[in-house]
Structure 1
Amino acid sequence: MKKSIQVNYLEIITPNVDQVCTSYSETLQVSFSEAIAELGGARTAALNSGDTLGIRTPMHDAEEPTTRPYYLVDDIKITVSEAENSGAQVLVPPMKTSHRSQCAIVSFDSIQNGFWQV
């Protein structure tokens, strides 16, 4: 078992990005960036832990509002394979991003999780 589990990126998908960003800015006292294309147009805020919170609109009609943690992993291909072997559906296979290395998304029924390898 891993010594510690770290959420590297927490993604919130909502049709109300401005409203959620304003609320989080006031309640959590964080500042959000402008939209970042590489992250699906997410506005991001740095958290005290060093991790990132991203809030964006759905990217297509089938994408439902959700909150999705992306867990930091050492080997994304092995992790996604293990998740699939345990019954997860792979929604987005490991893919490279410009400066954030690789990410993937899996689903256990309606529960979505991401994995991030930096």
Structure 2
Amino acid sequence: MQIQYLEVVTKDVDAVCAAYEAANGLKFGAPDAGLGHARTALLAGGGRVGVRAPLRTTEEPVVRPYWLVKDIEAAVAAVVQAGGFIAMEPTPIPGHGTFAIYLQGGNDHGLWQL
């Protein structure tokens, strides 16, 4: 398993980015509109971490890993078979890939296909 994208939703984007930069030597870029205006940094192994503010008033802070998969449709079917609830169907993000979000075990999870 490999994390392709680690999404951090927080009410204090700048503070979280500064802490990650100081503790982990990351370098965050400017907000990326395609990723909900997340500021992103490269992770070892080729993935990214993205830190963004909530997109709506009802969105709570969350840390959501998106696991890299070869076939997102097959992965979504496997998640449903295992009892997961699909919160966001596979959705393409131009220039980034296709993602899906599911809920299981009281946690948010993501899938990502390049």
TM-score bin (small chain)? over 0.9
Among residues 80, 102, 105, which one is paired with 1:106 in the alignment?
A: 102
> Which residue type is aligned with residue 3 of structure 2?
V
Among residues 57, 60, 70, which one is paired with 1:74 in the alignment?
A: 70
In the TM superposition, what is the alpha-carbon distance from 1:77 to its structure 2 partner? 0.8
Measure, in 2, the Cα distance between the counterparts of 1:50 and 1:82: 25
For residues 46-67 of structure 1, give each alpha carbon's deviation from its aligned partner in whole angstroms, at most 9, with x where no partner exists: 1222210100011112221111
Instruction: Please report the TM-score for the alignment, with normalisation by the length of structure 2.
Output: 0.95
Structure 1 residues 1-118: aligned runs within 5 Å: 5-118=1-114
Instruction: Please report the TM-score for the alignment, with normalisation by the length of structure 1.
Output: 0.92
Runs of 4+ in 1 over 4 A off after TM superposition: none
For residues 17-56 of structure 1, give each alpha carbon's deviation from its aligned partner in whole angstroms, at most 9, with x where no partner exists: 0000011111111110110000011000112222101000
Cα RMSD (Å): 1.0
Measure, in 2, the Cα distance between the counterparts of 1:81 and 1:41: 29
Give structure 2 stretches of 5+ with no counterpart: none
Measure, in 1, the Cα distance between the counterparts of 2:78 and 2:58: 26
**Percent of residue pairs bearing the same amino acid type:** 36
Give structure 1 stretches of 5+ with no counterpart: none
Number of residue pairs the alignment of both structures matches: 114
